[in-house]
Amino acid sequence: MTFFNKNSNKKVILGMAAMIAISVLSMGAAAKSTPELDAALDQLMPGTKPNSIEETQLPGIYEVSYGSTIFYFNKDASLMFRGDIIDVEKRVNLTEKKRGEARGKLLKSMDESQMIVYPAKNEKSKVTVFTDIDCPYCVKLHREMDDYNAEGITIRYMAYPRAGIGSPSYQKAVNVWCSDDPAQAMGDAKEGQAVADKTCDNPVAQQFQLGQALGVQGTPAMFLEDGTSLPGYVPAKRLSAELNK
């Protein structure tokens, strides 16, 4: 759990706000605030409006959400902390539940036509996967695509070149997304075959930034339709069981 007070390094907090701004794109603000919180937020995160402000079950503690990024403030906004609030009796992580709802809304707002989709014939669910062409477990997942589809799971790929924008992995992703047959090119690239260099109006950088905003730290990173995050490779049978819960 991380605490900040009025004397905390504003550069650190504003750096967080820059990432937060990505996560609230296309998500309308619906904030119920107090004068003290308004003043504090305008100073700490100028130009960035929260999606919601709600008083928590902890007396005098307010939850401020920016997409899937959540902060907590005390009543006079002199202290801020990041962490999770857990309902001990119900054994429910209330903060993660809120994050999941925000992630789900954000993913639903994304244009599927900009993803590389491997549809299941008898579709039961869709899973969005942030993938890196050079990631060994991403290759393993892709080789088992028929298994996921057989479970009724449609896989939707979004680009997440871990080495960052401008890296060789990034260019490979651009080549795939710009190819005449991206689904085939993705398979070829993950088997180590060269995909012709090509440029076009592509979503790779935007998807990479979205992944960062969603908290992706490694690949593959799976997101269920309700926003639940499943980091790492998950076999088809186990993923199906998770979806059926």
CATH code at position 176: 3.40.30.10
Reported as a single tens digit per residue, the pLDDT across 24-80 is 444 444 446 678 888 888 888 888 888 888 889 888 899 998 878 899 998 778 888
Same domain, 144 and 225: yes
pTM above 0.85? Answer: no
What is the secondary structure of 26-82 as a DSSP string?
T--------HHHHHHHHHHSTT---SEEEE-SSTT-EEEEETTEEEEE-TTSSEEEE
- Mean pLDDT for the chain overall: 86
Residue type, 202: N
Same domain, 156 and 40: no
Predicted local confidence at residue 33, as pLDDT: 67
The SS3 of residue 227 is coil
44 and 158 in a common domain: no
pLDDT at 76: 78
Q: Which residues of the chain have pLDDT under 70?
A: 1-33
Residues 219, 199: Cα–Cα separation, whole Å: 24
Q: Which domain holds residue 17?
A: 2-108
Tell me: do 89 and 117 sit in the same domain. no
What's the CATH code of the domain at 83? 3.10.450.70
Number of domains within the chain: 2
Note whether 102 and 126 are same-domain residues.
Answer: no
Residue 209 carries which side chain, given as an amino acid letter?
Q
Q: Are both 132 and 184 inside the same structural domain? A: yes
Is 78 in the same domain as 117? no
* 181 and 211 part of one domain: yes
The residues, any chain, with a CB within 8 Å of residue 96's CB and separated by 6 or more, are: 84
Give CA–CA dist 232/218, Å, rounded: 7
What is the Cα–Cα distance from 30 to 21, expressed in whole angstroms?
A: 15
Q: Are residues 80 and 123 in the same domain?
A: no
Q: Does residue 119 share a domain with residue 54?
A: no
pLDDT at 139: 97
Q: Which residues are catalytic?
A: 132, 135, 138, 162
Domain closes at, from 108, 126, 157: 108
3-class secondary structure for 170-184? HHHHHHHHHCCCHHH
